[in-house]
Amino acid sequence: MVVATSTPAGLEPAVAAGDDPRQFAAVLHAVYDAAMAGDKPPARPRQVISDSWDRVLDAGVDPDHGSLRNRIGTAEVASRRSESGLHAVLDELTRGLDAVIADGDNILVVADAHGHVLWRSGANRVLHRADRLGFVEGACWAEDAVGTNAIGTALQSGRAVQVFSAEHFVRTHHTWTCAGAPIRNPRTGSVLGVVDVSGPAATIHPTTLALVDTVARLAESQLRDHHRRVLDQLRSVAAPILARTAGPAIAVDTDGWVAAVESVAPRSRLTIPRQLHPGRTHLTDLGECDVEPLPGGWLIRVADADRPSRRTRVSIDSDDAGTLIRVSGAAGSWTHRPSPRHDEILRVLAAHPGGLSAAALSTSLFGVDDRTITVRAEISRLRRRFGGLLAANPYRFSDGVDVHLG
């Protein structure tokens, strides 16, 4: 006897339509108790659950308490939110699952690719119940931390998963049910995180899994459309620069996806290092290249061995309209008017070429060292605009960039 069956769509809800959840929970408890005692269970757990239990046992997770290790603080949560790639689809996820949490019985959770809870929303009464389980922002719900659950098991299995009652490995979670689906980066196929709906076990419904999976797929479609718009914007900036460039050149976004080419064989993506800096560098696909920043990406020119690499110049000037940033290199230039806050940050970084930590930058901007969440969020926005002009750890202008204050 297997304790659940698959749906025609290929998804496998924990409780099939028409089954009594209370009776089913009793069977699951008997299966769980036998499995934990090493006895023969009265039924076989679903394969996705059995596989998860095996992984969790190998990881040494305590079935009575689990673990709250790897919990991250508020500042790290804010940093991961901005860097996760999920912020752009948060509204889509909320709209798609609003009906499930509107009655106050469930919470919506979005976790990153490591299982850390980045956002959650729902009625206070169910949030308070989640608090008692440690199901809070910053908590790690990977399998090797808290055992079998929809977030960690979706990350491990790579597919949408519903976990009900005693299918959870940790006993304190047996009063809950959850359904989670991974969200993938449509450009790379890598998992960005998981969207999850969780609540008391009595709220389980077989259609929740399909709904969560559908919303995750819609979010991926939105990410795909967003990336297409980003490449279109980059192409509009790069096209006139490429037209003036002598020799082979290519414009790519910060992940290497190609927006425009000149005298280079067409391709969809260029292999670039994760940390690329302005100046001359060797790229696997093109050899020696001169790299210059563009808004939201890079201009990469195949290098002429006899031509010296030209450094990128950033001028921060003031005029009647405010501050104007001019970025120039061998192939051309572009301008940008920053907000007053971004203007202030750029001037502080220009005055500290060795770089500043988030705390030090907070002190320079606000007079106190505890505004690091705001600092990280603003730097993340700046880096999306200026790309490789700015580096992190510590925050500074990148090597190969000459900065001039007007």
Per-residue pLDDT reduced to its tens digit, 168-190? 999 999 999 999 999 999 888 89
pLDDT surpassing 50 at residue 8:
no
Segment 36-92, tens digit of pLDDT:
988 998 989 999 999 999 999 999 999 988 776 778 998 889 888 888 889 889 888
- Are 179 and 167 contacting, i.e. CB atoms less than 8 angstroms apart? no
- C-alpha 365/C-alpha 386 separation (Å) is 20
**How does the average pLDDT of the chain come out, rounded?**
88
How far apart are the C-alpha atoms of 145 and 147, rounded to whole Å? 6
Q: What is the pLDDT of residue 33?
A: 94
Q: pLDDT-derived band of residue 7, with 50, 70 and 90 as boundaries?
A: very low
Q: Which residues contact 179 (CB under 8 A, 6 or more apart)?
A: 150, 160, 161, 162, 163, 196, 197, 198, 208, 209, 212
Q: What is the pLDDT of residue 1?
A: 41
pLDDT for position 380 = 81
Average pLDDT over residues 121-131: 92
Catalogue all structural domains in the chain, each as residue range(s) with its CATH number.
21-225 (3.30.450.40), 230-302 (no CATH), 312-405 (1.10.10.10)
Mean pLDDT of 139-145: 95
Q: For the whole prediction, is pTM greater than 0.75?
A: no
User: What was the pLDDT predicted at 159?
Assistant: 95
The CB-side HSE value for 386 (13 A sphere, CA atoms) comes to 31
What local confidence, expressed as pLDDT, does residue 221 receive? Answer: 93
Task: Over range 100-128, report the average pLDDT.
Answer: 92
Is the distance from CB of 346 to CB of 383 less than 8 angstroms? no
Note the pLDDT tens digit of each residue in 287-301. 889 898 888 889 999
Lowest mean pLDDT among 200-209, 332-341, 343-352: 332-341
Give the pLDDT confidence score for residue 18 in this predicted structure: 74
